[in-house]
Structure 1
Amino acid sequence: MSTSAVNRSLGRLIAADAGWFFSLYLDAGEGGGGFRSSYKPNRAFVAKGSAADPQRAAAEAGRRARSKLRRYCAANRLNRLGTLTYAESCHDPQELRSHLGAFFRDLRAGLGGAPLPYAWVPEWHKTDHGLHAHFAVGRYIKQRLIKEAWGRGHVHIKLLGDLPVGSGALFEARTAAGYLSKYVSKTFTDPGSQVLGLHRYDVAQGFQPIKLALSGHSPGDVLAQASDYLNGPPVTQWSSASVEDWAGAPAIWAQWGA
């Protein structure tokens, strides 16, 4: 093959990479994407903790964590919120995580041993009582069973109420994720809540929402493809075009269902 023919082939491959992409999480009923240029800038490696703008980097990391948590809760319809509190106190983040691991193993065993999707986040008490944990599950569980599995203090769990008429499990799960996300955000913005070297939240393995990669020539194109998969138009959508001082590449986001 001649040099010119090789160059033309490479040009077509590069051009094929350009366009709009969209990551659709079917079970979560949402997705996001943006415009991808054929130009690929060289990105220098930045060591952890060495960002030029640490506050902005922390805010972006928090946004990504909240998005992942929301999609997980939505995909698994985690619409019941619970709290686990120590009778005494716990000030050791590693010990809390060990206790939570035992709690969910015992809870799963008490429910018959079947896999159980869940999510949890830690929080520091405003007083000197130390740590407690908030969690979400997607099925009714007797409070007695939760208390027995925890065995270290007080428990509370509830199905979310005071929601708009007609709200389904998907809307409930997104609302639950919103509550959990508030505590996750603290670990990025509040120095006293940071847990370096430890997960800021955790979820049951094996229940991550599957991502479907879509591509097209415009925002409307990829949104139409996503809407075909989800049998209707999005109920909520956002575009960077609506942000006057948007500095990044063009981006879009949308949710389906209620």
Structure 2
Amino acid sequence: MHFHVHFAVGRFVPRGLIDSAWGRGWVSIKMLGGLPHGSGALAEARVAARYLSKYATKSFVDAGTRLTGMHRYDLAQGFQPKAVRLEGPTKDAVLDRASEHLGMAGPDRVWSSADVEDWAGPPAIWAQWG
């Protein structure tokens, strides 16, 4: 079995350390850049997420060959995000609570399934801050 693996780190890691830790062949390193000077960790994380999500969303060439239990992404030990449950009587109330939790002003972008005429799933809201 051959693996094509991508991973992201928030700091410099010497190539030799990656080579020795991986120990399974070819290693390529790509620094993701193109951000304006002074961009913060949130903007950097978005660039990495955009890059990595290209690979996580690709379909399998032959879905019948997918091994049981295998999936497109995983998190390193200790990096599992913690769930935060926010409730409120309205969408705006929940977004206000989320903004407070993040310590930021209201979201810059909001998408709602209510705005999609033929939406077939349960109600959904997506928001982006910063």
**Alignment counterpart, residue 120 of structure 2, candidates 228, 232, 247:** 247
CA shift digits 1:6-43 (9 cap, x unpaired): xxxxxxxxxxxxxxxxxxxxxxxxxxxxxxxxxxxxxx
Answer 1 or 2: which has greater strand percent.
1
TM-score, normalised to structure 1's length? 0.44
Deviations along 1:201-242, one digit per CA (max 9) or x if unpaired, are 222122211111111111111111111112221122211122
Structure 1: gaps (5+ residues)? 1-91, 97-131
Which residue identity lines up with residue 32 of structure 2 in the other structure? Answer: L
Matched with 1:57 is: none
Matches within 5 A, 1:166-205: 166-186=38-58, 188=59, 190-191=61-62, 195-197=66-68, 198-205=70-77
1:235 paired with 2:114, answer no
Structure 2 residue 96 is the aligned partner of structure 1 residue 220? no
Cα distance in structure 2, aligned partners of 1:185 and 1:194: 17
Aligned twin of 1:34: none
Q: Distance in 2 between matches of 1:192 and 1:164?
A: 40
- 1:161 is displaced (CA, Å) by 0.9
Structure 2: unaligned runs, 5 residues or longer: none
User: CA 1:149 to 1:244, structure 2 compared with 1: closer, same or farther past 3 Å?
Assistant: same
Residue 7 of structure 2 is aligned to residue 135 of structure 1: yes
CA deviation vs aligned residue, 1:138-178 (integer Å, no higher than 9, x gap): 22111122223334433222331113454322222222122
Aligned-partner Cα distance in 2 for 1:175–1:157: 15
Identity value in percent: 58
TM-score w.r.t. structure 2 length?
0.80
Summarize the alignment of residues 66-81 of structure 1 with structure 2, pairs less than 5 Å apart: none
Change in CA separation of 1:220 and 1:182 when aligned onto 2, cut-off 3 Å: same
Give the distance between the partners of 2:117 and 2:60, measured in 1 at CA: 25
Structure-to-structure mapping, 1:1-258, within 5 angstroms: 92-93=1-2, 96=3, 132-186=4-58, 188=59, 190-191=61-62, 195-197=66-68, 198-231=70-103, 232-257=105-130
For residues 55-91 of structure 1, give each alpha carbon's deviation from its aligned partner in whole angstroms, at most 9, with x where no partner exists: xxxxxxxxxxxxxxxxxxxxxxxxxxxxxxxxxxxxx
Query: In structure 1, the residue corresponding to 2:53 is in which secondary structure?
Result: helix
Q: Distance in 2 between matches of 1:211 and 1:253?
A: 16
Q: Which of 1 and 2 has greater Rg?
A: 1
